[in-house]
Amino acid sequence: MVDLSNVQNKPLKLIFLVHFILITWGIQGFWSPDSYLFYNGLFILSLLWGIHHRESDEPLQIAVIINVLAILFDVIVLAAYFPATFRSSERFSIAMAILNLVIRPVTSVILCRIANERIGGEFSGRNTLGDIFGRGDTVAPGRPRAAYDDIDNPSGHQSTPGVVTIDGAGGKQPPPYHG
């Protein structure tokens, strides 16, 4: 039997597996348009990218965006292309598409938590969805903001420009401007 105790990224792989199965069963019917396969395929690819790049949160950001947009897309597709015939294969296909739609909000929250863990935070009140996408204490996702010197409050750790000799004769000149 397969030992699943040492599998890495279990929640992400479970999300991939569940959506993969439901999307596959959802496109079995004749009712589903090509657009349904397209945006769900992009979602699956972004999940695979997130599984492959364990240290990066960008694939998960893209997966969250696609998953949230897919909620709207699924509602539109299901309303516009709901099957007129109710053969058993069509009923099964539409039921799996509806089930996929129902679990999307849950998987979006889980993906947000996984992305937040990848940038080194805990999912608390301070670390929100905005922090995952670059607001808050980060300049860019996954990169902490560098410390800076406050020019209004000089202290002992703030350095002042010194003088530099440019020639061997001891003539002192201010440091060159590197702007």
Domain that holds residue 58: 8-133
Asked if residue 166 is part of any domain, the answer here is no
Could you tell me which residue, 151 or 34, shows the higher pLDDT? Answer: 34
- Indicate whether 63 belongs to any domain: yes
CA distance 90 to 73: 19
Total domain count, the chain = 1
Q: Is residue 48 part of a domain?
A: yes
pLDDT tens column, 27-44 = 998 888 999 999 999 999
Give me the mean pLDDT over the 52-75 stretch.
Answer: 93
**Contact call for residues 60 and 118 (beta carbons, < 8 A):** yes
SS3 65: helix
Is 175 a domain residue? no
Would residue 74 count as lying in a domain? Answer: yes
**pLDDT mean over 162-170:** 58
